[in-house]
Amino acid sequence: MNRHTTAATGPDEEKVVTSGSLNIAGIREVLLLHQGLSEGQEKPLDAEALSKKYNVDVELLEGLFQYTTLPAPQTPEDSSQTPQRKLRKA
C-alpha cells in the first residue's frame, strides 16, 4: 500500500466517503477553512463549526489541526530565491 501523498489530484481524492469521515479534498478544505485561507472566507472557522458543517467529530478535527498543516503556497519570488540543484552524473 502506498502511503505517500502529493498535492496532485489523485483518483481517490474526490471519492465519496461515508458520513462522519473526510476524503483528501475534504481534509484540504477543512484545513483551509480553519486557517481562514479559503476563497471568499472572511474569518477562520473553529473545530465546532466545521464539525457541524462536515458532520464529523470535533475530536477528529482537533487532532487533524494539531498534527496536520498545509504547505505554504509558493510564490514566483520564492521559486527564484530557491537555488536550483543540479544532478550529478553517475
pLDDT in tens, 6-63: 555 566 666 777 777 888 888 999 999 999 888 888 899 999 999 999 999 999 999 9
For residue 30, give its domain range: 24-81
* Cα 44 from Cα 78, distance rounded (Å): 25
38 domain residue, yes or no: yes
**Count: domains in the chain:** 1
Reported as a pLDDT band with limits 50, 70 and 90, residue 78 is: low
Residue 81 has pLDDT above 70, yes or no: no
Higher pLDDT, 86 or 48: 48
Among the listed residues 37, 1, 29, the one whose alpha carbon sits nearest the alpha carbon of residue 13: 29
Asked if residue 75 belongs to a domain, the reply is yes
The pLDDT score that the predictor gives to residue 44 is 92
- Cα–Cα nearest to 20, from 65, 56, 46, 59: 56
Residue 51 forms part of a structural domain: yes
Alpha helices in the chain (DSSP H): 24-35, 47-54, 58-67, 76-81
Residue 41 lies in a domain: yes
What does the alpha-carbon distance between residue 59 and residue 45 come to, in Å, rounded to a whole number?
15
pTM of the predicted model as reported, rounded to 2 decimal places: 0.63
The answer to whether residue 46 sits within a structural domain is: yes
